[in-house]
Chain A
Amino acid sequence: MNLKRNKVLLLFLIPGLILYSIFFIIPTINAVIYSFTDWDGLSPDYNIVGFDNYINILTNDSIFLKAMGNNLKFMLFVLIFQTGFSLLFALFLIKNTKTNVFLRALYFFPTILSSVSVAFIWSFVYDPNIGILNTILGYLNLEFLQQSWLGNQNIAIYSVAVTQVWFHTGQMLVIFVAGLQAIPKDLYEVANIEGASRWQRFRYVTWPMIAPSATIVMAYTTIQSFKAFDLIFAMTRGGPNYSTEILATLIYTTAFRSFEFGYASAESVLFMIIIAIITVLQFRILRASKVQE
């Protein structure tokens, strides 16, 4: 099939292009335009303010910087633990036995729940008075570990991150299992003949061979953790004291609580740039890992 020869094939792009334009390209261009205004989202009039919104965000908005920091903390925590746990579980559940298939389905189960339900369930788990987590710690005589999990501003973001990890580990596990099952058995046989230890087999056979799966998992986890709006909004609303405020919740508050649409648009544009940078970096790492293979 050659697109240049069969120009008629270009017509097939039209429906997708229309939908993509309506739901992505036009809103994005609009957001960029509004980011240079002081529009409140309601009045028909607005003023062009040039780069004022951007200058203000970057030089005079401590909450934006805090939200960005929280985003990175959340992302790193989720990235490390979600990838780690899903890989670990996948290594145990690689064979297609009945028990393993059942366990895979069980671990996958949280993924199909709505995020608001998950947020409510975990809010109860974390409740300092009636929550099961503190109750269990009490039974185990570990009272010194009892916490106000969502109320303590130093750990609240990590408490939400644990929920995110619980929520999506099963999903990533499936990708890893598929990757692990695709590794040719003879590679392990060679490793065994060479006298490789368990760790060496993982380090020199398994890990390089599942690098593509790991990249997919990491890229997906990163994007997922950046858009964790629903979980945070339902659990903490960005509190206490901005400790769980991430860029997505901040943009929502700016637009729909303070009614500063122009400013919120500028925040969104910066958010988009940050995600773009991270994605580009990830693609570079992906290419690097391909070279290694």
Chain B
Amino acid sequence: MKRMFLVSILILSVVLSGCVGSTSSNSDSGAGDGKTKISFIHWRGEDKEAFDSLIAEFEEQNKDIEVDMTIYPSEQYQSTAQTLLRDGSTGDVFTSYPGSHFEIIKQAGLFEDLSNEDFLENYNERLILAGQADDKQYAVPLQLVFNQPIYNATLFEELGLDPNPKSWEEFLALCQAIADAGHTPIAFPGADIGPGQFMNSMMMNNAPEEDVFDKLIAGEARLTDEWWVKTLTQFKELNDKGYLGNGALGTNHPGAIAMIANGEAAMLATGSFAVAGIKEINPDIELGLLAPITVSESEAVWEGIHTTTFMLAVNSKSSKKEAAKKFVSFLSEKENAEEYANKTSQHVTVNDVEYTSEELKSAEEWFEKNTRFQPRYLIPNANVEKAVIASIQAVLNGTDPVKAAEDSQKIVDQNI
């Protein structure tokens, strides 16, 4: 009896160690029926339906290729995508964020060079720069987002307000008029994405040169310089005057979306990607985009902020690069990009796309404006980015702007 028990334990341990071994073996890459199966990974859960139908069309056109789409929560995607891509079996086609995420994947050598691909011609040249490095096109951003406040156009019209402030004084007057009418001027989701989003339009004219964060990393610029202290002071002014509402740092993005959707707040300090969420709560609301101008009218250089993101790329470790490139090429075609844009209520970087929804059409004017690529994404070090955002949170908590800038600069110094 004892011996039987012992033997069964030994068998169990062999089985267990066998299980551990099998996870490291390479899984079969083929679909088993002669088809090439490619894996497509990204973080946009809200785009699943649009992609399902695009993938069905692609598979119809390319009978020998099957696309297996896996969507990860964005947080998880940012932290684990690189690891998934390394052995080449997952993410033949994958997506990347611009900035530090792109930089990390590039350093790991996981981007296939797309510089000579014909589909690049479909894109607006100016809008795919975020996917370029070392004179090579490593990825193509598909989405175009405007990271500046959204305003409730219905409410603005009702109150007779002009959504084009040309100077800091005009912006403050605009906020005051909204506050006087009994509304919160700006819904600010300080608990999550608010500081990282609103800082872009708040600083764009205070530090008009686009390489300011490169200089910060190189030690040639400091957060204690006028450009950042002024930005923090202006954040403080908005908060002290009550324009960011009560407990801005405790408000999260869904809460802030609800505030603008139900008419409690007149602006939402995040970006055009929140439009779909607002419309879901209040389909009748009319929305527009505006940006705070933090300097005098004559000093203003930039009119707004844009980001090109959801960067499509092919895994350099993949054994099915040709099929993967075919899929990226398919998504880059005007008709398909148009279908994606209109189904997901987002602008795209592909040329000549016609938008059907009113919101997308109304924001089209921003294509022609002098917008700047989101400065936060140009911070190549995640610790520095966190320190920059922390200084905004500190100021909103009552810390003096100069002290908050000094504290954050100390962290920057420790990380460069």
Complex CA distance for A152 and B109, rounded to whole angstroms: 42
Interface residue A153 (Cβ < 8 Å from any Cβ of B): yes
Interface residue A268 (Cβ < 8 Å from any Cβ of B): no
**Which of A102-110, A121-129, A164-172 touches B?**
A121-129
Interface residue A179 (Cβ < 8 Å from any Cβ of B): no
Interface residue B104 (Cβ < 8 Å from any Cβ of A): yes
Q: Which of B79, B248, B382, B390 contacts A151 (CB 8 A)?
A: B248
Q: What distance in Å separates the Cβ of B340 from its nearest Cβ neighbour in chain A? A: 29
**Which of B13-21, B56-64, B366-374 touches A?**
B13-21
Query: Do residues B20 and A43 form an inter-chain contact, with CB atoms below 8 A?
Result: no
Query: Do residues A42 and B10 form an inter-chain contact, with CB atoms below 8 A?
Result: no
Query: Do residues B13 and A151 form an inter-chain contact, with CB atoms below 8 A?
Result: no
Q: Which of B80, B110, B248, B390 contacts A241 (CB 8 A)?
A: B390
Interface residue A112 (Cβ < 8 Å from any Cβ of B): no
Residue of A nearest to B264 (CB): A129
The proximity string for A residues 232-258 relative to B, scoring 1 for CB distances below 8 Å and 0 otherwise, is 000011011110000000001110111
**Which of A57-65, A68-76, A77-85, A86-94 touches B?**
A57-65
A40-B107, A129-B255, A241-B397 are contacts. A151–B249 as well, Cβ < 8 Å?
A: yes
Query: Do residues A19 and B16 form an inter-chain contact, with CB atoms below 8 A?
Result: yes
**Interface size range of chain A in the complex:** 35 or more
Query: Do residues B13 and A253 form an inter-chain contact, with CB atoms below 8 A?
Result: no
**Which of A7-15, A46-54, A283-291 touches B?**
A7-15
Complex CA distance for A15 and B9, rounded to whole angstroms: 7
Interface residue A118 (Cβ < 8 Å from any Cβ of B): no
Query: Do residues B9 and A11 form an inter-chain contact, with CB atoms below 8 A?
Result: yes
Residue of A nearest to B414 (CB): A60
Complex CA distance for A18 and B399, rounded to whole angstroms: 53
Ordered by A's residue number, 20 sampled pairs between the chains whose C-beta atoms are within 8 Å are: A8-B6, A11-B9, A12-B6, A15-B12, A15-B13, A15-B16, A22-B20, A60-B414, A128-B246, A129-B246, A130-B255, A148-B249, A150-B249, A236-B191, A239-B389, A240-B394, A241-B399, A256-B79, A259-B82, A259-B104
Interface residue B74 (Cβ < 8 Å from any Cβ of A): no
Query: Do residues B250 and A150 form an inter-chain contact, with CB atoms below 8 A?
Result: yes
Query: Do residues B414 and A43 form an inter-chain contact, with CB atoms below 8 A?
Result: no
Complex CA distance for A63 and B190, rounded to whole angstroms: 21
Q: What distance in Å separates the Cβ of A226 from its nearest Cβ neighbour in chain B? A: 21
- Besides A61-B414, A151-B247, A256-B78, 13 other CB < 8 A contacts? A15-B9, A18-B13, A19-B16, A40-B104, A42-B82, A42-B83, A123-B252, A128-B251, A129-B259, A153-B393, A154-B397, A242-B390, A253-B383
Complex CA distance for A131 and B246, rounded to whole angstroms: 12
- Complex contacts, A14 vs chain B, CB 8 Å: 9-10, 13
Residue of B nearest to A257 (CB): B382
A11-B10, A19-B16, A22-B20 are contacts. A62–B410 as well, Cβ < 8 Å?
A: yes
Interface of chain B residues 383 through 416 with chain A (CB within 8 A)? 383, 386, 389-391, 393-394, 396-397, 399, 410-411, 414
Query: Do residues B82 and A151 form an inter-chain contact, with CB atoms below 8 A?
Result: no
- Complex contacts, A229 vs chain B, CB 8 Å: none
Q: What distance in Å separates the Cβ of A220 from its nearest Cβ neighbour in chain B? A: 28
Interface residue A147 (Cβ < 8 Å from any Cβ of B): yes
Residue of A nearest to B410 (CB): A62
Q: Which of B9, B104, B109 contacts A12 (CB 8 A)?
A: B9
The majority secondary structure among interface residues of chain A is loop
Q: What distance in Å separates the Cβ of A265 from its nearest Cβ neighbour in chain B? A: 15
Query: Do residues B394 and A153 form an inter-chain contact, with CB atoms below 8 A?
Result: yes
- Complex contacts, B386 vs chain A, CB 8 Å: 253, 257
Q: What distance in Å separates the Cβ of B106 from its nearest Cβ neighbour in chain A? A: 10
Which of A8, A18, A241, A252 has the largest count of B CB atoms less than 10 A from its CB?
A: A241
- Complex contacts, A40 vs chain B, CB 8 Å: 104, 107-108
Interface of chain A residues 152 through 168 with chain B (CB within 8 A)? 152-154
Interface residue A149 (Cβ < 8 Å from any Cβ of B): yes
Q: Which of A123, A147, A254, A259 contacts B247 (CB 8 A)?
A: A147
- Complex contacts, A129 vs chain B, CB 8 Å: 245-247, 251, 255, 259
Interface residue B225 (Cβ < 8 Å from any Cβ of A): no
Query: Do residues A151 and B410 form an inter-chain contact, with CB atoms below 8 A?
Result: no
The proximity string for B residues 76-96 relative to A, scoring 1 for CB distances below 8 Å and 0 otherwise, is 001110110010000000000
Complex CA distance for A14 and B9, rounded to whole angstroms: 9
Q: What distance in Å separates the Cβ of A37 from its nearest Cβ neighbour in chain B? A: 16
- Complex contacts, A237 vs chain B, CB 8 Å: 192
Complex CA distance for A246 and B183, rounded to whole angstroms: 37
Query: Do residues B251 and A42 form an inter-chain contact, with CB atoms below 8 A?
Result: no
Q: What distance in Å separates the Cβ of A158 from its nearest Cβ neighbour in chain B? A: 14
Q: Which of B83, B107, B109, B397 contacts A153 (CB 8 A)?
A: B397
Complex CA distance for A256 and B80, rounded to whole angstroms: 7
Interface residue B381 (Cβ < 8 Å from any Cβ of A): yes
- Complex contacts, A123 vs chain B, CB 8 Å: 191, 252
Q: What distance in Å separates the Cβ of A241 from its nearest Cβ neighbour in chain B? A: 4
Complex CA distance for A11 and B396, rounded to whole angstroms: 62
- Complex contacts, B104 vs chain A, CB 8 Å: 40, 42, 259
- Complex contacts, B16 vs chain A, CB 8 Å: 15, 18-19
Complex CA distance for A258 and B379, rounded to whole angstroms: 12
The 5 closest A-B pairs by CB, nearest first: A128-B247, A151-B249, A148-B247, A151-B250, A256-B79
- Complex contacts, B107 vs chain A, CB 8 Å: 40, 42-43
